[in-house]
Amino acid sequence: MSEQIKKFMYINRRAPYGTIYAWESLEVVLIGAAFDQDVSLAFLDDGVFQLVKGQDTAEVDMKNFSPTYQALGDYDVTKLFVEKESLEERGLTLDDLMPLTYEDEDDDWAEKDSIKVVSRAELADIMEEQDVMFSF
């Protein structure tokens, strides 16, 4: 669909509910996957809450869209960077997050983790490499 491949990063900084940014960001990611770009997602600040497992929105009468993150691997969206300091500041660890995986076609379809915890400094370096950054 496009002649050139760019490095796209979607930056998620907000909690999943309370505002619509997280959900509408995910909609862009899903549509954008059709464009065959080099896509990654970053979760920092309250954005790390988007990946917390066991989300239950019944009491607030909002759509629980967290299962959609499980589908990202099927869309070839396999690089989800979660900022270590943001997790720690909120008393979270990797174990609190949904296990998200993808099948690596270059490695005999081995199942691999999509989530990679990186430090704030490492994430800054990764951001530096990007061509396009969508912030939500």
Partner 1 sequence: MKFAIQVNEGPYQHQATDSAYQFTKAALEAGHEVMRVFFYHDGVNNGTKLTTPPQDDRNIVNRWTELAKKYDLDLVVCVAAAQRRGIVDEGEMQRNGKDAENIADNFRISGLGQLVEAGIQSERLVVFGD
What does each C-alpha distance from 58 to 3, 20, 133 come to in angstroms? Answer: 44, 17, 33
Nearer to partner 1, 43 or 136 (CB): 136
Please select the residue that binds partner 1; options are 15, 16, 21, 78, rule is CB under 8 A: 21
Asked if residue 134 binds partner 1 (CB under 8 A), the reply is yes
All residues at 6 or more sequence positions from 10 whose CB lies less than 8 Å from its CB, including other chains: 25, 28, 29, 32, 39, 40, 41, 42, 133, 134, 136
CB 114 within 8 Å of CB 102 = yes
Q: What mask of x and - would describe binding to partner 1 in positions 113 to 132, judged by CB under 8 A?
A: -------------------x
Closer by beta carbon to partner 1, 45 or else 96: 45
Contact positions vs partner 1 (CB under 8 A) = 2, 4, 6, 8, 20-21, 24, 27-28, 31-32, 34-35, 37, 132-136
